């Protein structure tokens, strides 16, 4: 089998679902280099025919069938892409019919249901949470944390900002973050600005060597990025977490999605969301 495969994520809407599920599947196959191509909004037969032709051209160039992960509501569009030159996995086709049989009801076959703005309250909640995360990033407005659902704490470049934004966008959680700096080290307990919000704190830590690599991309050959300094800052941050009883996670080998999901469940926010 070829060590290189082209993967298409095709959908009549954004392609997010096809990407997410397809990516989860192909990551189980090590040693294969996947070239990923996303083709969203393939919502007409004309567009589907163009996609089918592109797949045929890819097959001819690669000499091996590309993988096609798709989410199509309309059978007539899906069928045009279901060609012998590709190995196709359509998630709607795989799951909708069994669900219809189990529930005793036909699906609505409505395009874009999963990513539409039908629940305006939920949508507005997520937008407000994103705005909040941006306004309270990197210690901005530390005295204005009363309305935060959670405050992520950690040294610089430990993953606070992207995790806050993902919590906001995916879950509608108002997440602020507070960077621990050398001014916060060498003294017992939490920084004074965080004391009123101890119940909202969640700490992030990271392997010092990995932190040094990340910081070196931003400020190479600086004390800020040195391994010794990173070891010192991480050790001090973890000491603060332990002394103050702040729950914390190591971000080194975790994706943003995994971090956010773990934080949601460890803080019992899942009850509020679901």
The per-residue pLDDT for range 100-117, each reduced to its tens digit, is 889 988 876 654 555 445
Compute CA distances 150 → 36, 49, 247, whole Å: 35, 48, 12
Mean pLDDT of 150-154: 97
Cα–chain center distance at 214: 19
List the domain range (segments joined by +) for residue 196: 117-267
Interacting residues of 16 by C-beta distance below 8 A, sequence separation 6+ = 115
The per-residue pLDDT for range 72-92, each reduced to its tens digit, is 988 899 999 999 999 999 998
CATH number, position 61: 3.40.50
| Number of domains making up the chain | 2
Q: Provide the total of helices (H) and of strands (E) in the chain, helices listed first.
A: 10, 8
Indicate if 125 and 254 belong to the same structural domain. yes
The per-residue pLDDT for range 165-210, each reduced to its tens digit, is 999 998 999 999 999 999 999 887 899 999 999 999 999 999 999 9
| Residue 171 maps to a domain | yes
The residue out of 49, 70, 103 marking a domain boundary is 103
Indicate if 19 and 146 belong to the same structural domain. no
Indicate if 61 and 18 belong to the same structural domain. yes
Indicate if 130 and 97 belong to the same structural domain. no
Indicate if 245 and 169 belong to the same structural domain. yes
Annotation: binding site for ADP: 154-161
> In whole numbers, what is the pLDDT of the chain averaged over residues?
90
| Residue 221 maps to a domain | yes
Annotation: binding site: 154-161
Residue 56 vs residue 1, higher pLDDT: 56
* Cα–Cα dist 167/112, whole Å: 23
| Residue 137 maps to a domain | yes
pLDDT value, residue 74: 86
* Cα–Cα dist 164/263, whole Å: 11
pLDDT value, residue 261: 92
pLDDT value, residue 144: 80
Which is nearest to 154 in space by CA: 91, 205, 93? 205
Indicate if 206 and 164 belong to the same structural domain. yes
| Residue 169 maps to a domain | yes
| Residue 256 maps to a domain | yes
| Residue 109 maps to a domain | no
As beta bridge partners, residue 203 has: 153, 248
* Cα–Cα dist 158/272, whole Å: 27
Burial of 244 (0-12, 13-18, 19+ CB in 10 A): middle
């Amino acid at each position: 089998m070829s060590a290189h495969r082209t993967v298409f994520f095709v959908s009549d809407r954004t392609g997010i679902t096809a990407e997410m599920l397809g990516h989860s599947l192909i990551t189980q196959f090590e040693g294969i280099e996947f070239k990923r191509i996303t083709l969203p909004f393939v919502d007409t037969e004309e567009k589907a025919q163009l996609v089918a032709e592109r797949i045929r051209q890819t097959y001819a160039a690669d000499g091996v069938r590309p993988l096609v992960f798709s989410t199509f509501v309309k059978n007539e569009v899906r069928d045009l892409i279901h060609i012998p030159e590709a190995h196709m996995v359509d998630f709607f086709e795989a799951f909708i019919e069994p669900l219809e049989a189990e529930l005793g009801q036909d699906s609505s076959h409505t395009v874009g249901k999963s990513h539409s703005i039908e629940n305006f309250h939920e949508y507005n909640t997520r937008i407000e949470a994103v705005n909040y995360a941006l306004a309270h990033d990197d210690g901005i407005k530390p005295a204005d944390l009363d309305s935060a659902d959670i405050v992520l704490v950690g040294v610089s470049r430990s993953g606070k900002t992207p995790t806050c934004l993902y919590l906001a966008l995916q879950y509608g959680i108002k997440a602020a973050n507070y960077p621990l700096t050398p001014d916060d080290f060498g003294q017992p307990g939490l920084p004074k600005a965080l004391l009123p919000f101890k119940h909202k704190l969640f700490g992030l830590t990271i392997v010092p060597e990995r932190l040094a690599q990340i910081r070196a991309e931003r400020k190479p050959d600086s004390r800020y990025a040195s391994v010794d300094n990173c070891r010192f800052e991480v050790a001090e941050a973890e000491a603060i977490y332990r002394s103050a009883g702040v729950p914390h996670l190591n971000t080194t080998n975790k994706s943003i999605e995994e971090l956010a999901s773990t934080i949601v469940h460890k803080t019992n926010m899942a009850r509020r969301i679901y």
